[in-house]
Amino acid sequence: MNCQETRRYWDLFYDSEGDAELHFQLNEHLDNCVECAEWFDKQSRLESLIEQRLGVAASVELAPQVNWSSVLTGAGVTPAAKSRSWLFFSSSILALAASLLLIVGMYGLPFGDESPSLSYLSAEVHQHVSAGSLRPEFESRSDIEVDQYLLNKVSFPVRCPPRKDSGFAVAGAGLCELSQQPAAYVVGTVDQRPVSIFVLSKDSLDAFPKQRAELQRMQLTTCREGDTEMVLSIVDRNLVLVAGNVDSAKLTRVLKSYGTYPHTL
């Protein structure tokens, strides 16, 4: 395959379409042609930035505009009054359909007008990941691959996952929303036990008054929901929460090593 042919297949390559043979040939060319490899990278980066603008970037401003309960009522869909939490729903469906996007909205959560805390929502997601009822949309044991995956998925910067010497072995990553705040999560293990790292924009702190007040008093806070220990801090432009069923000293070590890698870009 020459350069021109290779580039003609960029769409298929980018969208992971076409057969294995085609991808083999494309990869073979890209491995041996720096110009095309660079060209593919640039095309893909631009496209994923555009997609981000079309999808994720629209989410924050759009979410409040659609009142789903009135949409459903207006459409004649009237299930029995909700007694379950939203997360219960989403996880069972996700387990079935392996849906790509988990949106942890406040809708239906048993909190009345008060927003659930960041720790409550993070612990819920972490428990579903630990139990296997939620699989991250991207699975890899390479921190660089996970970093690359998250690079253009959210509108705020996300740093590279913690290094292995912090005791954290990465396994994958995904996206979610916590009280309508976009978040990236990185999953992995510490001492073979599941640990999840949630990364939000620092600005999201306004949606969680309890945590905001705590972080105004101290740099790093710890808390617990059920069996899940959590540590929370602001790192550069991110709000970072590490959750796991291991002691908080180990979680703190993971948190402190978050973002100590210089970003690859």
Partner 1 sequence: MALPDREKAERFVAYLEPIQHQLAVYCSRALNRADETADVLQSAVATAFRDFDKYSEGTNFRAWMFRYVTLETLNRNRAAMRLPSELDEQQLSAPRTLDITSFRLETLLDDPDAVLDHCDEVVAESISQLTDQECRILLLRAVGDFKYREIAEIMDIPIGTVMGLLSRARTQLRSKLLDYARQHGLLSKGDSA
Residue 33 partner contact from Zn ion, partner 1, none using kind-dependent CB cut-offs of 5 to 8 Å: Zn ion
Q: How many residues bind partner 1 (CB under 8 A)?
A: 48
Cβ(40)–Cβ(10) below 8 Å: yes
Distance CA 130, CA 92 (A): 14
Distance CA 163, CA 208 (A): 28
Question: Shortest distance, CB of residue 183 to partner 1, whole angstroms?
Answer: 14
Q: Which pair of structure tokens corresponds to residue 249?
A: 């000293």
Nearer to partner 1, 63 or 220 (CB): 63
83 counts as binding partner 1 under rule CB under 8 A:
no
Choice from 1, 63, 169, 235 touching partner 1 (CB under 8 A): 63
Choice from 124, 143, 147, 177 touching partner 1 (CB under 8 A): 177
Nearer to partner 1, 42 or 141 (CB): 42
| CB burial of residue 88 (10 Å; 0-12, 13-18, 19+) | middle
Cα-based distances in Å from 30 to 9, 124, 241: 12, 42, 38
- What one-character DSSP code corresponds to residue 178? E
Nearer to partner 1, 51 or 236 (CB): 51
Q: Which secondary structure element, helix H or strand E, spans residue 229, and what is its range?
A: strand 228-235
Distance CA 152, CA 158 (A): 9
Choice from 71, 144, 213, 234 touching partner 1 (CB under 8 A): 71
Question: Shortest distance, CB of residue 16 to Zn ion, whole angstroms?
Answer: 20
Nearer to partner 1, 100 or 234 (CB): 100
Nearer to partner 1, 109 or 223 (CB): 109
Residue 63 partner contact from partner 1, Zn ion, none using kind-dependent CB cut-offs of 5 to 8 Å: partner 1
Four-CA torsion 19, 20, 23, 27, nearest 10 degrees: -170
Cα-based distances in Å from 259 to 141, 197, 202, 210: 17, 12, 14, 25
Choice from 1, 101, 169, 235 touching partner 1 (CB under 8 A): 101
Binding site for Zn ion (CB under 5 A): 3, 33, 36
Choice from 85, 105, 210, 248 touching partner 1 (CB under 8 A): 105
20 counts as binding partner 1 under rule CB under 8 A:
no
Question: Shortest distance, CB of residue 124 to partner 1, whole angstroms?
Answer: 14
